[in-house]
Amino acid sequence: MAIQFQYNKTSLQTLEKNLKMRVRALPTIKNKESALRMEVKRAKDDIKKLESEIEQRIAAYDKMLALWGEFDTSLLQVEDVKMSIKKIAGVRIPVLDEVLYKTKPFSLFNSPKWYADGLTQLKELAQVGIEQEFYANKLRLLEFARKKTTQKVNLFEKVQIPGYQEAIIKIKRFMEDEENLSKSSQKIVKSRQQKLKEVEL
């Protein structure tokens, strides 16, 4: 990306101002990037833990597979998922507050004894599954923000800051050359005027 500029003092001041702003902002953006990297790593670790927990719970349920055939899955439904928003390194992330379940009434006398335990286990499994989905969504949002921040850091470091520095150097050299030419032409004019005065005398 070539920085567009004109060879004058106003353009020089604008470029210096823009360069100063980017140099000042770069450490903040780098800190944001590293914070997002840490949060992405933490979210990945949380997802792995939840995946292993789901696998363990499903493995435990496989032992009771014959009993689950009798279980009425319509007894338990997710009624509502309450969430809030939390800012992590300037990125708005949904946070799971609470999952509300709706349990249909059932007769403890007409259904097997393990139904109540089955409902509890099903709630726990659903809770872990919903948490995993929230962490996966959190990971997507954080990775997107980290990617954008990394692009901005690279833009500042590798393109804009060097581009502004180069443009400033070009303008300064041009202005120095103009000043030297002006001084030289003034000396030439002055020496000609002196020669004319000497000739007249």
List CB contacts of 146: < 8 A, sequence separation 6 or more.
33, 36, 37, 40
pLDDT of residue 164: 94
CA dist 135 and 132 (Å) reads 5
pLDDT digits (tens, 9 = 90+) for 8-43: 999 999 999 999 999 999 999 999 999 999 999 999
Query: Average of pLDDT values for 158-177?
Result: 93
Q: State the chain's mean pLDDT as an integer.
A: 87
pLDDT digits (tens, 9 = 90+) for 138-150: 999 999 999 999 9
pLDDT digits (tens, 9 = 90+) for 178-192: 999 989 889 898 888
pLDDT digits (tens, 9 = 90+) for 58-87: 777 776 665 666 666 777 788 888 999 999
pLDDT of residue 112: 66
pTM: predicted TM-score of the whole model, two decimal places: 0.74
The pair of structure tokens assigned to 74 is 């319509």
pLDDT of residue 153: 95
Task: Indicate the SS3 state at residue 44.
Answer: helix
CA dist 201 and 186 (Å) reads 23
Angle at alpha carbon of residue 42, lines to 36 and 48, rounded to 5°:
140
Beta bridge partners, 83, equal 96
Query: Which residue has tokens 């500042």?
Result: 156
Cα R_g (the chain), whole angstroms: 35
